[in-house]
Chain A
Amino acid sequence: MKKTLILTSALCSMAFAASAQEVNLLSWGGAYGNSHLEAYAKPFTAETGIAVNIADADNPATPIKAMVEAGNVTSDVASVEYADAVRLCDEGLLEEIDAASLTAADDGTTAADDYIEGGVTDCFVATDVYSMVEVYDDSKFPDAKPAGPADFFDLEAFPGKRTMRKGAKFNLEFALMADGVPAAEVYEVLSTPEGVDRAFAKLDTIKNDVIWWEAGAQPPQLLADGEVTMAYAFNGRIFDAAMKDNKPFKIVWDGQIYEMEGWVIPKGAPHMEDALKFIAFSTAPANQARAAEFISYGPPRKSAAAIVGNIEGTEEPMGPHLPTTEANMGNALGSDLDFWVDHDSELNERFNAWLAG
């Protein structure tokens, strides 16, 4: 934080003479915000001389809504979740971003083709991919190790409590994958009433052994306390606990469900031109790959995934820890936003009724 302040004030005074060339970036703070500062903001200023002022929010989508509706937009670029980007875009609160303005890959592939599916939409350019993954405590299963979604639901072979996110999203898809539905067909099955029944029936089999988490910090804590032996949790949190606190947590990538985060421009942003320059710069493959060395969220561009280096400050390659690495994408499911905006309330009501029943 202090570093950010010093940096931004230094940059501000530098840029003062060069008129109002600047980008106001709204990010999340924490380790994730730090990756934005180190991998995007600092190199961008070094190359172009345009200052980047970073502000933090709990979820930048909320202030965007407030700013645009009040007609007082102070941010030029914001980092939001894919779902929020689509919602804000549909409600007319974002500027459209032309995919042609993005940096092409080194071999000449256009950005639109270089991105994984859904990475570039009308108002949104993805910066990273995070995912929901199955995790187990290695010390609890000395012999056979869990290897896929089905093992998560196998209480006999892998005894102990589980923890899952409280809500319908992620769990229903995961239950279907555990029931043998291939990732590619999950949403097709889940669109039918029978499919939903099937998912709930699968969840029923472990219902009495699940602790439901709400905050992302809970699953590593529950694993560390020995309250649960397996978790279905966000990969970044687990990576942090495993790397920094040396916990024996192992990720099973089979059955992961991934989602994207990325840049949007609030409608009426004061520095449109610089904002577009910043977006083109930061989503260039080399810079995306650099960001992934700070936090275990994968680059959404295929050409960037190949050139991610070592975990910052260590000699260990980051690649195996990223959701987007080829080897980890075997049976991976991209979260279907359209499905969830349509069925969120319906399935959550049913989920809550199921939980309480």
Chain B
Amino acid sequence: MATPLDPHAAIAIEAGGVDGPLTTADGQPLNRALSRASRKARWRAFMLVAPLLLFIVVTFAFPIGQMLYRSIHNDGFAANMPQLSEWFAETEPGTTPDEAAFAALARDLQASAEARSIGIVGTRINYEMPGTRSLFTSTGRKVRGGIEPPYREALLEIDEDWGDPSLWASMRNSSTAYTDSFYLASLDRTRNVEGDVVQVNENRRVYIMLFLRTLWLSALVTLMTFLLGFPIAHLLATLPLRRSNLLMILVLLPFWTSLLVRTTSWMVLLQQQGVVNDLLIWLGVIDNGGRLKMMYNQIGTIIAMTHILLPFMILPLYSVMRTINPSYVRAAKSLGATSWTAFRRIYFPQTLPGLGAGALLVFILAVGYYITPALVGGASGQLISNMIAEHMTGTLNWSMAAALAAILLGGVLILYWVYDRLVGIDNLKLG
């Protein structure tokens, strides 16, 4: 019946084996044989996915992890100003700097200026307290040749800003390599002289507002794609195959077109001297003076993003709708349901897995959108990703970019978790 070579099949129960352990035909305990076989299968499966896993770790997880690490770790000050950092570590926040502190500062400044790392130190402090980078670089040039005690007087003579308590508070905040200051700054907050967390000046608060706007616009775009995409997906799913294929190409064609091309096409269409406005004037809907502003504002961002993300809503909806058996709706109607009731209680609930997948896809893509808002968004259509890009390429404050990105990532994960609790991830169907 079974060969001893096949441990799965070859289960033999020894005579009187009611008490003893189960063994295979060759006398091994069954547990061990089974676990060895399944271990082998698992190992083989792992080896098959190992190249992909390695690829993802090397090209994705590791760089992102390293980038996010920058948001809490910046040793620009701590590494180049070791003696002063030590003084900060030994004293309480709010301690008035004494001669020992100034001596440490002077020696560190001199060493750092000689090593030409003073620019890095100044840049780090400038993040905390704008306007101080040149204080470090110019003082560095002066103390490079040496500085005589008493250090306090000598430094104050070079620049009296060295006595500023808020400068010392900023240096204290930067004196450890691990810091929360980039996260505080990402939430429009900072530490004051006493070390308490306070909001920044009103005219500099920008990040929280941008986070909220990003979430709100993404939700709006998701809603718009749903309203526009649902009927189309339904049409595609119910039409005869030949005609639905043709329609499908119309959905997919823009999907295959470059994002930049589509965005610039919208610019041509929507700008004030653009096609849509010209058409409306020709039709007599508006006059030449009343050209509509549909670009370089939130409206432009919403229109372009909705169009670009539409296929991500239509495709999952379509693939789920294809599988819905039309006889359910027919049955509901034959039992006396109106069309609306049949749709609401029978058809729509069955599309939820596709809707959930589409909504999640569109929302998560929209949250990270960058090029489209940058090109058509103008002033009021900017999203948080544009600020991340600004810090990556413009100000070169990568720690700040990492903190903003980490908060965005965390926010999306929280939403994903909420979604899982409300709808259930198992209920998701991409096709």
Q: How many residues in A have their beta carbons less than 8 Å from beta carbons of B?
A: 31
Neighbour of B205 across the interface among A87, A92, A353, CB < 8 A: A353
Interface residues of A in 341-357 (CB under 8 A from B): 341-350, 352-356
Q: Are A356 and B115 in contact (CB under 8 A)?
A: no
Interface residues of B in 49-67 (CB under 8 A from A): none
Contacts of B120 in A (CB 8 A): 90-91
Q: Are A348 and B115 in contact (CB under 8 A)?
A: no
Contacts of B205 in A (CB 8 A): 353
Q: How many residues in B have their beta carbons less than 8 Å from beta carbons of A?
A: 37
Q: Are A91 and B116 in contact (CB under 8 A)?
A: yes
Given the known inter-chain contacts A90-B137, A345-B130, please indicate yes or no for A353 contacting B115, CB distance below 8 A. no
Given the known inter-chain contacts A226-B273, A345-B397, A355-B379, please indicate yes or no for A90 contacting B203, CB distance below 8 A. no
* Listed A/B pairs (23) with beta-carbon separation below 8 Å: A89-B119, A90-B119, A90-B122, A92-B116, A92-B117, A210-B379, A211-B296, A211-B378, A227-B273, A338-B134, A341-B123, A341-B126, A341-B134, A344-B395, A345-B126, A345-B127, A345-B395, A349-B204, A353-B205, A355-B380, A356-B206, A356-B380, A356-B382
Given the known inter-chain contacts A90-B118, A92-B115, A214-B374, please indicate yes or no for A342 contacting B134, CB distance below 8 A. yes
Q: In whole angstroms, how far apart are the Cα atoms of A347 and B133 in the complex?
A: 14
Neighbour of B131 across the interface among A212, A214, A343, CB < 8 A: A343
Residue of A nearest to B396 (CB): A87
A203, chain B: closest CB distance, angstroms? 11
Q: In whole angstroms, how far apart are the Cα atoms of A346 and B394 in the complex?
A: 13
Neighbour of B395 across the interface among A89, A212, A342, A348, CB < 8 A: A348
Contacts of B126 in A (CB 8 A): 341-342, 345
Q: Are A342 and B119 in contact (CB under 8 A)?
A: no
Q: Which residues of A contact B (CB under 8 A)?
A: 87, 89-92, 161, 166-167, 210-212, 214, 225-227, 338, 341-350, 352-356
Contacts of A227 in B (CB 8 A): 271-273
Given the known inter-chain contacts A225-B271, A341-B126, A345-B127, please indicate yes or no for A90 contacting B206, CB distance below 8 A. no
Q: In whole angstroms, how far apart are the Cα atoms of A214 and B386 in the complex?
A: 11
Interface residues of B in 377-394 (CB under 8 A from A): 378-380, 382, 387, 390, 394
Given the known inter-chain contacts A91-B116, A226-B273, please indicate yes or no for A354 contacting B203, CB distance below 8 A. yes
Q: In whole angstroms, how far apart are the Cα atoms of A348 and B204 in the complex?
A: 9
Q: Is B210 an interface position by the 8 A CB rule?
A: yes
Contacts of B122 in A (CB 8 A): 90
Interface residues of B in 201-257 (CB under 8 A from A): 203-206, 209-210, 213
A172, chain B: closest CB distance, angstroms? 13
CB-defined interface of B115-157 with A at 8 Å, one 1/0 digit per residue? Answer: 1111110110011001111100100000000000000000000
Q: In whole angstroms, how far apart are the Cα atoms of A304 and B123 in the complex?
A: 36
Inter-chain contact total with CB atoms closer than 8 Å? 83
Q: Are A90 and B116 in contact (CB under 8 A)?
A: yes
Q: A92-B116, A352-B382 are in contact. List 5 more A-B contacts (CB 8 A).
A: A225-B273, A344-B395, A349-B206, A355-B379, A355-B380
Q: In whole angstroms, how far apart are the Cα atoms of A343 and B130 in the complex?
A: 6
Interface residues of B in 160-216 (CB under 8 A from A): 203-206, 209-210, 213
Residue of B nearest to A338 (CB): B134
In order of increasing CB-CB distance, the 3 nearest A-B pairs are A90-B119, A92-B116, A346-B130
Q: In whole angstroms, how far apart are the Cα atoms of A214 and B204 in the complex?
A: 21
Q: Are B271 and A353 in contact (CB under 8 A)?
A: no
Q: In whole angstroms, how far apart are the Cα atoms of A8 and B236 in the complex?
A: 58
Q: Are A356 and B379 in contact (CB under 8 A)?
A: yes
Contacts of A212 in B (CB 8 A): 296, 378-379
B110, chain A: closest CB distance, angstroms? 15
A243, chain B: closest CB distance, angstroms? 24
B1, chain A: closest CB distance, angstroms? 67
Q: In whole angstroms, how far apart are the Cα atoms of A341 and B120 in the complex?
A: 12
Q: Are B204 and A87 in contact (CB under 8 A)?
A: no
Q: In whole angstroms, how far apart are the Cα atoms of A89 and B118 in the complex?
A: 10
Q: In whole angstroms, how far apart are the Cα atoms of A350 and B201 in the complex?
A: 9
CB-defined interface of B378-421 with A at 8 Å, one 1/0 digit per residue? Answer: 11101000010010001101000000000000000000000000
Q: In whole angstroms, how far apart are the Cα atoms of A68 and B127 in the complex?
A: 24
Contacts of B119 in A (CB 8 A): 87, 89-92
Contacts of B131 in A (CB 8 A): 342-343, 346
Contacts of A355 in B (CB 8 A): 379-380, 382
A190, chain B: closest CB distance, angstroms? 12
Residue of B nearest to A88 (CB): B119
Q: In whole angstroms, how far apart are the Cα atoms of A161 and B390 in the complex?
A: 25
Q: Are B117 and A91 in contact (CB under 8 A)?
A: yes
Q: In whole angstroms, how far apart are the Cα atoms of A166 and B115 in the complex?
A: 36
Contacts of A338 in B (CB 8 A): 134
A120, chain B: closest CB distance, angstroms? 16
Q: In whole angstroms, how far apart are the Cα atoms of A210 and B379 in the complex?
A: 9
Q: In whole angstroms, how far apart are the Cα atoms of A210 and B120 in the complex?
A: 36
Contacts of A166 in B (CB 8 A): 379
Contacts of A353 in B (CB 8 A): 203-206, 209
Q: In whole angstroms, how far apart are the Cα atoms of A87 and B209 in the complex?
A: 31
Q: Are A348 and B116 in contact (CB under 8 A)?
A: no
Residue of B nearest to A92 (CB): B116
Q: Are A342 and B133 in contact (CB under 8 A)?
A: yes
Q: Are B210 and A356 in contact (CB under 8 A)?
A: yes
Q: In whole angstroms, how far apart are the Cα atoms of A273 and B127 in the complex?
A: 38
Q: In whole angstroms, how far apart are the Cα atoms of A226 and B122 in the complex?
A: 45
Residue of A nearest to B201 (CB): A350
A143, chain B: closest CB distance, angstroms? 20
Q: In whole angstroms, how far apart are the Cα atoms of A344 and B396 in the complex?
A: 11
Contacts of A161 in B (CB 8 A): 272
Contacts of A347 in B (CB 8 A): 130
A168, chain B: closest CB distance, angstroms? 11
Interface-centre pick from B203, B213, B273 (highest chain A CB count, 10 A): B203
Q: In whole angstroms, how far apart are the Cα atoms of A344 and B126 in the complex?
A: 9
